[in-house]
Structure 1
């Protein structure tokens, strides 16, 4: 079970990169992505950082105590994930392209949440299959999240925006 719990740390590694975008002009996509990252997403990113910090706490503890990990997931991580998703769902970009991109962010975060819930179920019931399934879902979510970050960067650059990490 411990090896499967190590996948949680992969989420922490993929923490969202906060982009400061500059240089809009009359490009509606450029204006929207700038507003999206600089005005709409900071509170979401703050919640994501809290969420990642809670995940790191589990990873740093080594994940050897299934009851402690289950407790941390139930009491800290999953509630933070729920709040993160709620906050992300309140963000409404102006353009269809950025709305679609943001939908991918929500999808990745929702999938992570689902994987964590499955992992919690497995830990609570001493079900290795459920823990493994949760880990696989989290891994898929991490792939989706990486694709979101890459697409965000590509769209920003395609619209002449400077991306600062």
Structure 2
């Protein structure tokens, strides 16, 4: 009798446990803890190299050019490849990730444009690149906001991103 009861009850327990599964939550956890780890490292390396030679840290065109060609652009190119290879299961997260890819593509084009501006000594290209960087920042802010909202909706706590 016990065996028969167990054979009847076990499938219901397994069925009910499946009802509590949240595929978006699982996808988010995989995304932030595994899929985006390498991408985050590559982005940090590229952005850090750029910040080290721009703004208040700017010293001269050659230093910036060298950083762009040797560190920023190669690392950012690898970062974009990594973003493109991220495995995402749910539509909600895919839509948000696409915002990140768009922002990264714009930022990459901005870095290329800065390199071109330095080669051609063209201030108009510098302004164009700065506009692209501003647009990329908007995309990244939108991505972060939507990712945080999705995480809250699915009880996932994110470290500050």
For the criterion TM > 0.5, the same-fold answer is yes
Note the 1:39-78 alignment, pairs <5 A: 39-59=34-54, 62-78=57-73
- Deviation beyond 2 Å, 4+ runs, structure 1: 59-62, 162-165
1:146 paired with 2:158, answer no
The CA RMSD over aligned residues, in Å, is: 1.5
Aligned residues: 141
Structure 1 length-normalised TM: 0.80
Name the structure, 1 or 2, with higher relative contact order (CA <8 Å, separation 6+).
1
Deviation at 1:163, TM superposition (A): 2.6
Please list every run of 5 or more consecutive structure 1 residues that lacks an aligned counterpart in the other structure.
1-24
Q: For structure 2, which runs of at least 5 residues remain unmatched after alignment?
A: 1-19
Q: How does 1:125-164 map to 2 (within 5 A)?
A: 125-164=120-159
1:150 to partner: Cα distance: 0.8
Distance in 2 (CA, whole Å) between partners of 1:137 and 1:164 is 27
Instruction: Find the counterpart in structure 2 of residue 79 from structure 1.
Output: 74
Displacement of 1:48: 1.4
Specify which structure has the higher proportion of helix. 2
> TM-score w.r.t. structure 2 length?
0.82
Greater Rg over alpha carbons, structure: 2
Partner Cα separation in structure 1 for residue 52 and residue 159 of structure 2: 28
Q: Quick one: distance in 2 between partners of 1:52 and 1:70?
A: 14
Does residue 111 of structure 2 align to residue 116 of structure 1? yes
Distance 1:110 1:143 in 2: 13
